[in-house]
Amino acid sequence: MARSRKSRRSSDENSDVGFQIAPMIDVVFVVLVFFMSLTSAIKLEHELNTKLPGTAVTADTVEFPDEQVIGVNPDGQLLLNDDPIPVADGADLVQLLNSMTRIKANADAAKTRVLVTIASDPEAPYYRTIDVLNVLAAASIDNVTFTVSDEL
């Protein structure tokens, strides 16, 4: 307080503007409130990466990997190599995860790569594809391709 009085006196005498704490706090609070309101609007998002197929080098020997096909029906039903996989609402696709983990372990033991093709019906819900990608991420399988029969 004493410093403030001294500062005011000094500014009166020298026409020099001293430090005003009130406008500074105003600005800082505006910034704070602005970012607080924006933070609530921003949702945390994760990501599942994939690489689209590019041009193959034909001079190299092509090794055919062990391919697994996971089908997604319009009603969300999953098929692993045409065998239905039980899917309950809210379940974590445990059976598919166990199967894919086993396939991955076998492929690693045989020193081959697992290729998973997700064959979705055009009308299949997108979240089921993400469920499958989520399982593949848990099983450490990153060699994934997609097929959808219809085009827009």
Partner 1 sequence: MAGGGGGGDGEPEFQIAPMIDVLLVLLIFFMSITTTQVARVLQDITLPVAPNAAKKGDARDESVLNIQWDPATRVAKFVFDERTGEKPDEFVDTLTRRHRLEPKHRLVIRADRTVPAKHVSAAMAAAAKAGISDVTFAASPR
Please report, as ranges, the residues that interact with partner 1 according to CB under 8 A: 7, 10, 16-20, 23-24, 27-28, 30-31, 34-35, 38, 41-54, 72, 120-127, 129-131, 133-135, 137-138, 146, 148, 150-152
Beta bridge partners of 66: 114
Strand, helix or coil at 85? strand
d(CA 19, CA 41): 35
Q: How many CB atoms lie within 10 A of CB 96?
A: 22
Least distance between partner 1 and beta carbon 117 (Å): 13
Quick one: 116 or 135, whose CB is closer to partner 1? Answer: 135
Q: What would the two tokens of residue 14 be?
A: 């020298």
Least distance between partner 1 and beta carbon 65 (Å): 18
Quick one: 54 or 111, whose CB is closer to partner 1? Answer: 54
Dihedral angle over CA of 67, 139, 76, 95, nearest 10: 100
Quick one: 29 or 105, whose CB is closer to partner 1? Answer: 29
